[in-house]
Amino acid sequence: MQDVNPISNSFFEGEIAFSRIRIPKRLFIPFFFVLLAKTVASIFVYYSLNVPSSGTFWTDPNRVFAWEQNNVFLENLNKTAQWSSVFLGWDSAWYLSIMTKGYAFSSQSYSFFPGLPVFGSLFRVILQDPAISLVICVGVFGVLWVPAYQLVAENYMSREAALGSALLFAFSPYVFLFTTVAYSEGLFLFFILSAWHFFKKGKVGYASLLATVAVVTRVVGVLVVLPVVIESLQKNKSRRLRNALLSCLPIVALFIWLAYCQLTANDWLASIHSTEWNSLYSFRRLLFEGLPAKGIQAFAELPFQHWLSPPHWLLPIAMWGAIIVPPFLIHKMAKVEKSLAVYSLVYYVGVLAFGALVSTPRFVSVLFPLWIPLTAKLSKNKKSAAVVVAAATLSFVVSLDLWINFLNGQFIA
């Protein structure tokens, strides 16, 4: 395998010690670049939109949609530092509203799992301000997931290639944006990746606890049980029962959340029944409702169906790409790690069946196993470093455009 990175092997083998915790130096490379890029991007967006004097679409009572979560959102933003509004828009209002009002303030709030509100509230214990706490929480996990992915990727490719893969993943436009603004993607990625990393290290107990947090952050976190069970069945008999029982922890966490929904909303499936986007086409609704009623015209409506705001120019391209490309990557992943291919397939089918098709770019972009076959050839080409730099730079520019239009009220995904 060729070494395509000019960084010396001695650096890749080095470690930095914090008390008894030893962190490999190589993990700081993508961490540093992503943190720097997000900092520079936030400053650029702040001044390019003239936020100090003009605010954003979401902070303007005359422009923002008159939805109940946005009213709570505006109440909080009137009491906080103006820079935080650079990271807040669309669903951010729900997370902030749940943090400050709880789930009872709206039946629609149950669409959003409690992971991010809970972690945001933990930050609030120190920072006091709910909006700042939410933004800082998202900012922390929005960069911590990158070295977690790098560690996972190293199981399937060289360390140099894993570094490049982590950078391409982190700078991909939808991932860059939605792990920077106040959404749950960064928190979910950190815990699902950490869970898989510890499982591959044979620490099933830690993996199950981390997966439990992933489940209460996004429902798809429960799917990590599938590869854990598949690989556990291949272990020696003495560990099968133990691993099977530990793998049930994420399922237990999901049932606790469903029980909470029943107790507070009198509906076990409140998270499904309350979605405000249920009028939009999922693949299932497109097949069984849209096509029978409208024929081929139903396809023409995607992704412009019932919009309150104009969709971003990239959305149609990204949506069809997120629908068409994953099956090919899942097939390739099956040749590398069958258990992760199963995880990816069930995740992908679930997104098509139950998620709005217009949101597939956001949902599919964080499906981490897809990035392994997508970037696997980085270690086989001497020009890989140049490819990574060029692709990351282009992605960064597109990310800035997504971010600015996100704050201007356009629907991104």
pLDDT higher at 238 or 79: 79
Per-residue pLDDT of 362-380, as tens digits, reads: 999 999 999 999 998 886 6
pTM: 0.91
The more confidently predicted of residues 176 and 6 is: 176
Q: What's residue 312's pLDDT?
A: 92
Q: Round to whole Å and give the CA distance between 305 and 358.
A: 9
Q: pLDDT, tens digit, for every residue of 337-362? A: 999 999 999 999 999 988 888 999 99
pLDDT of residue 167 exceeding 50 = yes
Determine which of 204-208, 324-328, 389-393 has the lowest per-residue pLDDT on average: 204-208
Place of tokens 């199981």: 155
Q: Which residues contact 248 (CB under 8 A, 6 or more apart)?
A: 225
Band of residue 4 on the pLDDT scale cut at 50, 70, 90: very low
Lowest model confidence (mean pLDDT) among 265-269, 375-379, 385-389? 375-379
Query: Would the pLDDT of 156 be above 70?
Result: yes
pLDDT of the residue at 204:
87
Residues 6+ apart with CB under 8 A from 1: 158, 379, 380
Q: What is the pLDDT of residues 189-246, one digit of tens each?
A: 999 999 999 999 989 889 999 999 999 999 999 999 889 888 877 766 667 777 777 7
Q: What is the pLDDT of residue 61?
A: 92
pLDDT at 10: 46
pLDDT for residue 18 is more than 80: no
Quick one: average pLDDT of 4-31? Answer: 62
Cα→Cα distances 229→241, 296, 341, Å: 10, 42, 13
For residue 306, what pLDDT is reported? Answer: 61
Condensed to tens digits (0 to 9), the pLDDT of residues 34-43 reads 999 999 999 9
Query: Is 187 exposed, middle or buried, given 0-12, 13-18 or 19+ CB atoms closer than 10 A?
Result: buried
User: What pLDDT band is residue 13 in, cutting at 50, 70 and 90?
Assistant: low
Contacts of 95 (CB under 8 A, 6+ apart): 112, 116, 117, 120, 134, 182, 183, 184
Please count the residues of the chain: 413
Rama region for 102: left / alpha / beta (φ>0; ψ in -120 to 50; rest): left
At residue 57, the pLDDT reads 95
Per-residue confidence (pLDDT) for residue 246, from 0 to 100: 78
pLDDT value of position 11: 46
| pLDDT, position 7 | 43
